[in-house]
Amino acid sequence: GGKGRTEVFAPEMHAAIVDRLALEADLRRALAEPSRDQFAVRFQPIVRLTDGAVVGVEALVRWTHPVRGALSPATFIPIAETSGLIVPLGAWVLREACREGARWARSRPRGRGVPPLTLTVNLSGRQLQAPGLVEDVAAALAESGLDPASLVLEITETVIMQQTEANLVTLHALKALGIRLAIDDFGTGYSSLSYLQRFPIDILKIDKSFVDGLSRGGSDAALARTIIALGDTLALRCIAEGVEDDAQRTHLQALGCDYAQGFLFARPLPVAEIDALLVNGTAL
């Protein structure tokens, strides 16, 4: 490069960076559109294993890029997080989800055996650290009329463990709104058990990797058993994630896990399909 400067240039590296920057710009533009119609929220049922009743739904965002088509959250959520765009995107998902949740609460048949429906929304670390989160959540609740008791916010274990004091203050402020908190991907981080007592958590979501390990036996199955027992001891609800077959379901029930989510029951569904599912009875 002259003047003693050396530059290492790997074309693939360059291409990846350009690609990422292009996607970030597209994401910014899509979020600036008042209609926000490149985005959609899908809802995946959470079921009670004893009777198959749908007890909740998790909101999962989708982005249909005008040129590239449907993009996986695994591609665009990390870009949204590093760029900070997850803050407006997350606020949008929250408002959309709360609006649907309030509608379901009004239309769901009431009666014996029909559990109240819980609405779950993912929260990224960037959102937790952004000023105004508590106000955003309060506004989404007020605007929609959703009962705060039916809203669950999910935070991953790794996020919950960072910057603990600031996070702790925010989590308590969120809890004061009357909502519940879940730890997502539980078991994958480097957890110290003491934070489970310090943080105002209500629900543990057992990561798919442990569910996958159930049939192999050995250490993954032992860990799944331990997590479920831990949840019982601390009076936390356990939800197993990524349940794909009947053997896993049976195994989880035998271990005392009462709730699950996964392709065995349903994929994340568009609003119309969840509507039909919730109206036409609760059993899957």
- Contact positions vs Ca ion (CB under 5 A): 122, 154, 184-185, 232, 241, 256, 258
228 burial via Cβ count (<10 Å: 0-12, 13-18, 19+): buried
Shortest Cβ distance from residue 259 to Ca ion (Å)?
9
CA distance 231 to 240: 12
Shortest Cβ distance from residue 146 to Ca ion (Å)?
18
| Residue 67 lies near ligand C2E (rule: CB under 6 A) | no
Shortest Cβ distance from residue 95 to ligand C2E (Å)?
11
Shortest Cβ distance from residue 62 to ligand C2E (Å)?
8
Q: Which helix (H) or strand (E) holds 125?
A: helix 125-129
Shortest Cβ distance from residue 195 to Ca ion (Å)?
18
Q: Which does 93 bind (CB under 5 to 8 A by kind): ligand C2E, Ca ion, none?
A: ligand C2E
> Binding to ligand C2E (CB under 6 A): which residues in 248-267?
261-263
Kindly tell me which of 205 and 225 has the beta carbon lying closer to ligand C2E.
Answer: 205
Q: Which of 214, 216, 215 is nearest to 227 (CA)?
A: 214
Q: Residues for the chain: how many in total? A: 284
Q: Which of 73, 121, 119 is nearest to 94 (CA)?
A: 121
CA distance 108 to 89: 28
| Residue 10 lies near ligand C2E (rule: CB under 6 A) | no
CA distance 86 to 76: 10
Site string for ligand C2E, 12-51 (x = CB under 6 A): --------------------------------x-------
> Tokens for 72?
């996986």
Among 150, 228, 268, 282, binds ligand C2E (CB under 6 A): 268
| Residue 282 lies near ligand C2E (rule: CB under 6 A) | no
CA distance 123 to 46: 18
CA 76 to each of CA 9, 20, 25, 27, 73: distance values in angstroms, whole numbers, following the listed order: 25, 9, 12, 8, 5
| Residue 93 lies near ligand C2E (rule: CB under 6 A) | yes
| Residue 61 lies near ligand C2E (rule: CB under 6 A) | yes
| Residue 122 lies near ligand C2E (rule: CB under 6 A) | yes
Q: Which does 136 bind (CB under 5 to 8 A by kind): Ca ion, ligand C2E, none?
A: none
> Tokens for 226?
């331990």
| Residue 213 lies near ligand C2E (rule: CB under 6 A) | no
Helix axes 86-107, 133-144, angle to 10 degrees: 30
Beta partners for residue 57, in sequence order: 45, 119
Q: Can you give the binding site for ligand C2E, defined by CB under 6 A?
A: 44, 60-61, 72-74, 77, 86, 90, 93, 122, 124, 184-185, 242-244, 261-263, 268
